[in-house]
Amino acid sequence: MKYADWLNTRGLEYRNDVLYFAGMNTLDIVEKYGTPIYVINEQMVRERYKKLKKFVNSEYKKNQIHFAVKANSTLSFLRVLNSEGASFDCTSQGEIFTCFKAGISSEKIIYTGNMFTEDDFEFAVKNDVLVNLDSLSQLKRLADIYEKLGKEKLTISFRINPEFGAGEHIHTITAGKDVKFGILEGQAIEAYRKAKEFGFENFGIHQHIGSGIINAYDYEKPTEKYLNIVKTIAKTLEIKFEFIDFGGGLGIPYQPKEKPLDLNVYSKIVIKPFLELLKSEDIGEPEFKIEPGRYLSAESSIILTQINTIKNNGYKLFAGVDAGFNTLLRPILYDSYHHIIPCNKKGKEKSLTYDVVGPICESGDILGKNRELPELNEKEFLAILDAGAYGFTMSSTYNSRPRTAEILIKDGHIHKIREAEAYDDLLKKQIIPDHLK
């Protein structure tokens, strides 16, 4: 793919050397709204969802795509996906609360927590949210809470750990014997047998093997094993599953030269074997579920940031910007690549190699290492791409830097959807005891 086309897949283009995002001039945006700032392209969110939904529909109609809220929990973002008909995957009470505030109803939510507390279960049961358990030991506790609250038991599901995982970084691989998630094959039958004993009557099953998977063949081994487990449980216990959930993990090409995930291969490895299982075994007509976070959200957002310092220390060139790992944690946490481009490249002929660094007082505050960029000057602006997944949600106030604003672009209009935090917000919840006053 040509570089300009790659930019275009993200709603980005240069017009007279000035960067436009979702049809808006990025220099106008920074002038009006300041930096650093998260900018979301609403149309891109809708397109990504529609494209995936259409694809899955063409393979098997009875499906639900649950957006993984941990990737992006901004209310307006969730409202966009909700209006497209998406379902949601939540990992905490806070995410469920956020979904409710975004107008999402409980039957669209699957609650895949881990290390659930009694309070988590009470919250889920009271709010009629389906729970996807992560440990055998949690089953009786959940059943007890259904009894205590006198509520009818909803579908119960377990997260299976198929022992083969995949992902961009060791910390984003979520299957394997020594990984904390899910239950292993050896306990799977017992889990569903016990669930029946505790009076659960409807069943789902789930796996999520990791995050940032760009090669769909990485799903092959885990899926084979998972579907075998599904088959064994269904046969042994005569269970007809309401749904079979294959989790998220679908990656995106963060680098211009990377090939995107091939949905046809994904189908060959994941959807087709699922369909074959339905044909060959009498396991009912389960819904096909997936839980993509990144695939639906990453490319929809950029961060605009201002260069405040160009430093040549005689050995290396640094472009110091006002976004840091407080704004975007992924580069330091997972060594992740986020493409960085100038908002204005007018009259710039020479290219130089920079480390793009933030203002956080740590040497690891590097947003992009050894980046070839047109010669940069102080006061100019850069765009950090693909920040819509695990960008804002993982941002922090480290170094007492308030979190940024967010804006949403829709049909040539800009909507502010989050105010930047103020210094007061940083201190809001602190209490000074009398003896220190």
User: CB of 418: closest distance to ligand LLP in angstroms?
Assistant: 19
Q: Which one among 294, 338, 345, 371 touches ligand LLP, defined by CB under 6 A? A: 294
Instruction: List phi, psi (to 5°) of 67.
Output: -70, 130
Judged by CB under 6 A, does residue 339 bind ligand LLP? Answer: no
Comparing CB distances to ligand LLP, the nearer of 340 and 343 is 340
Q: Which one among 76, 211, 300, 326 touches ligand LLP, defined by CB under 6 A? A: 211
Q: Which two tokens stand for residue 409?
A: 């672009």
Judged by CB under 6 A, does residue 71 bind ligand LLP? Answer: yes
Judged by CB under 6 A, does residue 56 bind ligand LLP? Answer: no
Build a one-symbol-per-residue string for 382-421: x at contacts with ligand LLP by CB under 6 A, - elsewhere.
-------xx-------------------------------
* Side chain identity at residue 283, one-letter code: I
Region from 92-100, 188-196, 248-256, 317-325 binding ligand LLP, contact rule CB under 6 A: 248-256
Judged by CB under 6 A, does residue 324 bind ligand LLP? Answer: no
What whole-number distance in Å separates Cα of residue 45 and Cα of residue 53?
Answer: 12
- Under 8 Å CB-to-CB from 57, ≥6 apart: which residues? 63
Report the Cα 380 to chain-centroid distance in Å. 30
Q: Which one among 162, 204, 247, 358 touches ligand LLP, defined by CB under 6 A? A: 247
End-to-end Cα distance, the chain: 63
Region from 30-38, 189-197, 291-299, 305-313 binding ligand LLP, contact rule CB under 6 A: 291-299
β-bridge partners, 306: 381
Build a one-symbol-per-residue string for 120-159: x at contacts with ligand LLP by CB under 6 A, - elsewhere.
----------------------------------------
Comparing CB distances to ligand LLP, the nearer of 210 and 342 is 210
Comparing CB distances to ligand LLP, the nearer of 111 and 381 is 111
Comparing CB distances to ligand LLP, the nearer of 26 and 138 is 138
β-bridge partners, 371: 354
- Report DSSP letters for 226-295, one per residue: HHHHHHHHHHHHT--EEEEE----B----STTSPPP-HHHHIIIIIHHHHHHHHHS----PEEEE--SHH
- Under 8 Å CB-to-CB from 89, ≥6 apart: which residues? 66, 67, 68, 69, 109, 110, 112, 248, 291, 293
Judged by CB under 6 A, does residue 164 bind ligand LLP? Answer: no
What whole-number distance in Å separates Cα of residue 334 and Cα of residue 323?
Answer: 17
Comparing CB distances to ligand LLP, the nearer of 24 and 81 is 81
What whole-number distance in Å separates Cα of residue 8 and Cα of residue 12?
Answer: 5
Build a one-symbol-per-residue string for 345-374: x at contacts with ligand LLP by CB under 6 A, - elsewhere.
------------------------------
What whole-number distance in Å separates Cα of residue 161 and Cα of residue 176?
Answer: 7
Write down the catalytic residue from 90, 99, 343, 361. 361
Comparing CB distances to ligand LLP, the nearer of 102 and 373 is 102
What whole-number distance in Å separates Cα of residue 421 and Cα of residue 405?
Answer: 7
What whole-number distance in Å separates Cα of residue 22 and Cα of residue 44?
Answer: 8
Region from 117-125, 241-249, 265-273, 422-430 binding ligand LLP, contact rule CB under 6 A: 241-249
Number of residues that bind ligand LLP (CB under 6 A): 23
Judged by CB under 6 A, does residue 301 bind ligand LLP? Answer: no
Neighbour-count burial for 282-315, b at 16+ CB within 10 Å, e otherwise: ebeebbbbbbbbbbbbbbbbbbbbbbeebeeeee
Q: Which one among 176, 204, 286, 293 touches ligand LLP, defined by CB under 6 A? A: 293
Q: Which one among 162, 176, 248, 359 touches ligand LLP, defined by CB under 6 A? A: 248
Class of residue 335 by CB neighbours under 10 A (exposed 0-12, middle 13-18, buried 19+): exposed
Respond yes or no: is residue 361 known to be catalytic: yes
Site of interaction with ligand LLP (CB under 6 A): 68, 70-71, 89, 112, 172, 174, 208, 211-212, 247-250, 291-295, 330, 334, 389-390
Q: Report the catalytic residues.
A: 361
